[in-house]
Structure 1
Amino acid sequence: MKLAILSRNSSLYSTRRLVEAAREAGHVVRVLDPLRCYMRIASEGFAMHYKGKPLTGFDAVLPRIGASVTRYGSAVLRQFELMGTYTPNPSDAILRARDKLRAHQLMAAEGIRMPVTVFGDNPDDTSDLLKLLGPSPHVIKLTESSQGAGVILAEKLSASRGITEALRGLYANFLVQEFIAEAKGADLRCFVVGDKVIAAMRRQAPAGEFRSNLHRGGSAVGVKASKAEVEVAVRATQVLGLGVAGVDLIRSDRGPLVLEVNASPGLEGIESASKKDVAGEIVRFVAQACPPKKPSRTVRKK
């Protein structure tokens, strides 16, 4: 298999591990900065170049697209798809996962349980919007954020109202959710590959913090997800159309609730905590799922 990895930095842990795993399995692998890929789009076919040379012949592409380059990175990935290259995480699925509002609507429509969430636009509706949610504390999240950035805990109703009004003044898009107190600052990251949870870790927020992200100082230990947690993690991944995802769950009194589905989950924390070869599992899944190469609509020189 000839594999491309879309990543802005080849030295990042996740990218390096995927390269190592692919080469150990005997595959040819190349890391491509998505911002250096550029495209020709025409009715007679598609073409893509990288640093002055054509990109052709790839069987599969693994996207490691950061939130800051979602728009351009997903366009590059879509071009690969149109040229006949397989990817476990299609461009449209990544866009669905990155938009928290859209992802929540799609999962709720399929009966996947999440913290109660409200969304509105007009400042005149703020009081009634918060009544729809229920009593504070509330969690306020920007709809396009990652690694715990843009997530705020408002402990009082007045704080929820003030933060909501401030964010509206900045023309930010955000959700407001119920706070699950019984979780006590912990959540569960389930790493889904295909239809399986191949690894899981429990993350705990540090003292004085409610966000358990490792980038925010949280700690992690490997755990075995329950049957219910595995089921909801796999279902959430499939609803959004992803083949590889990190699903963040919170353990509540009413069962596991989905917080977020990450389309480019980091490997360092989960591999360290679970002691599992997550990168190897991803590469094996891609190699098995990659269909026979079909003729692409790539522009060919006469």
Structure 2
Amino acid sequence: MKLAILSRNAKLYSTRRLVEAARDLGHSVRVLDPLRCYMRISSDGFDMHYKGRPIAGYGAVIPRVGASITRYGTAVLRQFELMGSYTPNPSDAIARARDKLRCHQLLAAQGIGLPVTVFGDNPDDTADLLSMLGPPPHVIKLNEGTQGTGVMLAEKLSSSRSVVETLRGLYANFLVQEFVAEAHGADLRCFVVGGKVVAAMRRQAPKGDFRSNLHRGGSAKAIVPSRIEQEVAVRAASVVGLGVAGVDLIRSKRGPLVLEINSSPGLEGIEAATGVDIARAIIEHSAASSSPRPAARRRGRRAA
């Protein structure tokens, strides 16, 4: 199969592992920087060029689109979809996952557990907004933050008000959530591929922090999630529309709660912690799910 990986850096661990797995399985694979892809859109078809040459005919495209280029990256991926390529993570699903508010609304509508969340815009409503959430501590998150950045813990009501007012002054989009104390600074990263959890790890926040992200100094060890935790992770990925996802859960008194769904989850930490060849699972799923798809007409130039 002719396969493309959308990534800004071919040397990144996750990108390299996907390339290695694809070649080991006998596929032709190419890394494409989405910012060097440019497209022609017309009623007679869809065309894509890359560094001056037309490209087409990819059976599958695996996106590794960073948050900083979500808009352009998903536009490029959508163009590939319109040209007949399969992707485990469609462009619309990535956009849903990146918007934390939208993602939480979709999950809550399906009865999936998550921390109680409030959202508002007008400064005059701050006091009532926080009263809807309940007493502190409160977790305040930027709507599109990643790897633990833009996540703050306010332990007093006055602190919550101060942070909210500051973020509003910066015109930032953010959510305020309940703090789940019984999680003790730990969460579960469940890696979902093709409708099942293929690997999972428990991440523990470093002393003095409540964020368990490995990029923030957290530690990780392999675990086997409970049946219910696996079901929640798989359902969450399905609701958003992702075939490959890192679903972050915390254990609470009322059951597993979804913290976040990552559409481009890193492979390094979880492969090291679990020993599972996740890159191979992603390639196998993409190859098995790919099938000839009708592509819109392209103008008659040879594609590389």
TM-score of the superposed pair, with normalisation by structure 1 = 0.99
* Distance in structure 2 (CA, Å) of the matches to 1:296 and 1:271: 38
Any idea what SS the aligned residue of 2:141 has?
strand
> How far off its partner does 1:194 sit?
1.1
* Distance in structure 2 (CA, Å) of the matches to 1:244 and 1:158: 40
Matched residue type, 1:196: K
Deviations 1:62-103 (A, max 9, x none): 000000010100000000001111001000000000000000
Matched residue type, 1:265: P
Deviations 1:221-277 (A, max 9, x none): 000010010000000000001100000000001110000000000000110011100
Deviations 1:9-65 (A, max 9, x none): 000000000000000000000000000000111111110000000011111000000
Matches within 5 A, 1:172-251: 172-251=172-251
CA contact under 8 A between 1:186 and 1:204: conserved in structure 2?
Answer: yes
> How far off its partner does 1:298 sit?
2.4
Identity between Structure 1 and Structure 2 (%) = 73
Any idea what SS the aligned residue of 2:121 has?
coil
* Distance in structure 2 (CA, Å) of the matches to 1:295 and 1:110: 33
Residue of structure 2 in register with 1:263 after alignment: 263
115-124 vs 289-298, which moves further: 289-298
* Distance in structure 1 (CA, Å) of the matches to 2:250 and 2:300: 51
* Distance in structure 1 (CA, Å) of the matches to 2:145 and 2:43: 35
CA contact under 8 A between 1:82 and 1:297: conserved in structure 2?
Answer: no
Matched residue type, 1:160: S
- RMSD over aligned CA atoms reads 1.0
> How far off its partner does 1:294 sit?
2.9
> How far off its partner does 1:299 sit?
2.8
Q: Say whether 1:96 aligns with 2:100.
A: no
Matched residue type, 1:89: N
> Structure 1, unaligned stretches of length 5 or more?
none
Number of aligned pairs?
302
Residue of structure 2 in register with 1:142 after alignment: 142
> How far off its partner does 1:291 sit?
1.5
> How far off its partner does 1:295 sit?
3.9
Q: Say whether 1:74 aligns with 2:68.
A: no
> Structure 2, unaligned stretches of length 5 or more?
none
Compared with structure 1, are the counterparts of its residues 137 and 232 closer, same or farther at alpha carbon in structure 2 (3 Å cutoff)? same
Deviations 1:166-192 (A, max 9, x none): 000000000000000000100000000
* Distance in structure 1 (CA, Å) of the matches to 2:75 and 2:169: 30
CA contact under 8 A between 2:82 and 2:295: conserved in structure 1?
Answer: no
TM-score of the superposed pair, with normalisation by structure 2 = 0.98
* Distance in structure 1 (CA, Å) of the matches to 2:295 and 2:87: 16
CA contact under 8 A between 2:84 and 2:292: conserved in structure 1?
Answer: no
Matches within 5 A, 1:273-284: 273-284=273-284
> How far off its partner does 1:301 sit?
4.7
